[in-house]
């Protein structure tokens, strides 16, 4: 069990990350790829990713470089692989990984060696060897490009939908109300947030607050950093739907888009930019909720919105594809 202790200052400094973190998605997807947890939920993605890695020649790099750093037999992996800069994008995150001070690299690699073993090439990181840094950069980019980048727009959409739900909970009940909304994966009993964890421990934030990072590839319980002295983050699983790239290609015939040309449906799509419930859409468009549900079903099937149930309500948020369609329509209007 993990127990995170908050003060009033911690609550004021607690926030949700603005987007998915590519380095955390790399780390957690490695466990989905190499291990068995989340088997059925990620079966299609796992099969396609293994095929694509083999086709592009990335399998060897993943097995030699990344797999030993994210051992499927242990929940521990080095914290330096998921620096805060990851939310700024993959390039910024990888640069931060490779800029980790050598003393910290050695300390975390020593810890990994004591649990599951450290690959021989990785000691070169602590020794400042260029070939080791090249191998890690190449491994991270190769894996991301093959295993995650094809699904990134869908992951981004699902994270945005989750953030919309958390944001509404925050507006209704403050930070405490938002934390309470994470049941059942986390339990908020002020001033302690508790959750399942392989190791029984307490983390006292001491005014640092915590950054909550929504993740597509996180499964089951949230994941904290191993070192409680670092600025704290907590990665939690979002509600997933199957990414379109993992199940079918986006439609190219234009038929689903043609069905969106009606004024009511276009207005509903615009209203989902900031997130809106079925009831809110019905009030704004002055139509019955059943009619809204028909429109949102078409938008969802076309990949233009994501719908997520929260309590008795369904919250609809626009996807990058939907936003691009709106942007294109706006750009094409005559002055």
Q: How confident is the model at residue 182, as a pLDDT? A: 92
Burial class (CB in 10 A: 0-12, 13-18, 19+), 326: middle
Using the predicted structure, report yes or no on whether residue 12 has a pLDDT greater than 90: yes
Cβ atoms within 10 Å of 163's Cβ, excluding its own:
20
Nearest residue to 172 (alpha-carbon basis) of 87, 284, 277 = 277
Cα distance between residue 25 and residue 148, in whole Å? 8
Nearest residue to 321 (alpha-carbon basis) of 154, 159, 146 = 154
Q: How confident is the model at residue 242, as a pLDDT? A: 57
Structure confidence by residue, pLDDT tens digits, 178-233: 999 998 999 999 999 999 998 899 999 999 999 999 999 999 899 999 998 999 99
Here the tokens at position 273 are 């930019």
Pairing of strands 276-277, 305-310: unpaired
Using the predicted structure, report yes or no on whether residue 246 has a pLDDT greater than 60: no
CA distances from 77 to 73, 131, 144, 212 (A): 11, 21, 18, 19
Cα distance between residue 72 and residue 147, in whole Å? 17
Nearest residue to 155 (alpha-carbon basis) of 20, 318, 297, 40 = 20
Structure confidence by residue, pLDDT tens digits, 259-304: 555 788 888 888 888 788 898 888 888 888 888 898 899 888 888 8
Nearest residue to 306 (alpha-carbon basis) of 184, 165, 168, 179 = 165
- Of 117-131, 145-159, 201-215, 318-332, the one with minimum mean pLDDT is 318-332
């Amino acid at each position: 069990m993990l127990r995170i202790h908050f003060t009033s200052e911690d609550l004021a400094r607690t926030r949700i990350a603005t987007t998915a973190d590519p380095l955390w998605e790399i780390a957690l997807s490695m466990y989905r790829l190499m291990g068995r947890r989340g088997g059925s939920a990620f079966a299609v993605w796992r099969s396609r990713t293994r095929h694509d890695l083999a086709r592009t020649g990335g399998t060897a790099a993943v097995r030699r470089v990344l797999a030993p750093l994210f051992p499927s037999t242990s929940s521990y992996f080095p914290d330096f692989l998921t620096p805060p800069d990851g939310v700024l994008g993959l390039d910024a995150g990888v640069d931060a990984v490779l800029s980790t001070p050598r003393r910290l690299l050695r300390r975390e690699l020593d810890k990994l060696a004591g649990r599951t073993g450290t690959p021989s090439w990785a000691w070169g990181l602590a020794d400042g060897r260029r070939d080791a840094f090249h191998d890690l950069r190449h491994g991270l980019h190769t894996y991301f490009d093959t295993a995650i980048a094809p699904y990134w727009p869908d992951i981004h959409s699902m994270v945005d939908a989750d953030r919309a739900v958390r944001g509404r909970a925050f507006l209704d009940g403050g930070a405490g109300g938002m934390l309470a909304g994470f049941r059942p994966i986390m339990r908020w009993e002020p001033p302690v947030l508790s959750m399942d964890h392989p190791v029984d421990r307490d983390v006292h934030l001491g005014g640092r607050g915590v950054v909550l990072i929504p993740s597509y590839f996180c499964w089951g319980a949230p994941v904290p950093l191993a070192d409680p002295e670092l600025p704290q983050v907590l990665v939690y699983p979002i509600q997933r739907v199957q990414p379109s790239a993992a199940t079918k290609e986006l439609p190219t015939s234009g038929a689903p888009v043609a069905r969106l040309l009606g004024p009511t449906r276009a207005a509903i799509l615009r209203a989902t930019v900031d997130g809106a419930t079925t009831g809110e859409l019905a009030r704004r468009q002055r139509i019955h909720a059943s009619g809204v549900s028909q429109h949102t079903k078409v938008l969802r099937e076309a990949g233009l919105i994501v719908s997520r149930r929260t309590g008795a309500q369904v919250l609809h948020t626009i996807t990058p594809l939907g936003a691009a369609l709106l942007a294109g329509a706006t750009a094409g209007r005559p002055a």
